[in-house]
Amino acid sequence: MELEKKIRNSIASLFDENINEAMSDASTKDMFNDPFFGGLAIHACLSSTYKSLSESDELAVLCGLANLDYDEILEEELQNAQNRYLEPLTR
């Protein structure tokens, strides 16, 4: 279980880093203040990160060695990131 927690934390951290990087980029910074365009930008960042992670074999192999379902973990962490970043835009 400790390994699963570390993997989840690593995945969550990658989602967070990519969102924060996009939000601090001067060319896209204003976009995040608009609920519609901000939501699109966040969705694009999360999708791009998800695609990169799903194509990476490193964490998948590590999960396989520990008998963990990488695809399930990745999906759950994507959902968690969507909840963190997209839900506040709907309030």
Q: Which residues contact 50 (CB under 8 A, 6 or more apart)?
A: 74, 78
Residue ranges of alpha helices (H) inside the chain are: 2-24, 35-55, 57-65, 70-86
Q: What whole-number distance in Å separates Cα of residue 72 and Cα of residue 7?
A: 12
What single DSSP character describes residue 27?
Answer: T
Parse the chain into domains and list their residue ranges.
2-90
pLDDT per residue rounded down to tens, the chain (91 residues): 799 999 999 999 999 999 999 888 877 777 877 888 888 999 999 999 999 999 989 999 999 999 999 999 999 999 999 999 988 777 6
Return the closest-CA partner of residue 23 out of 2, 52, 45: 45
pLDDT of residue 91: 67
Whether pTM > 0.75 for this model: the answer is: yes
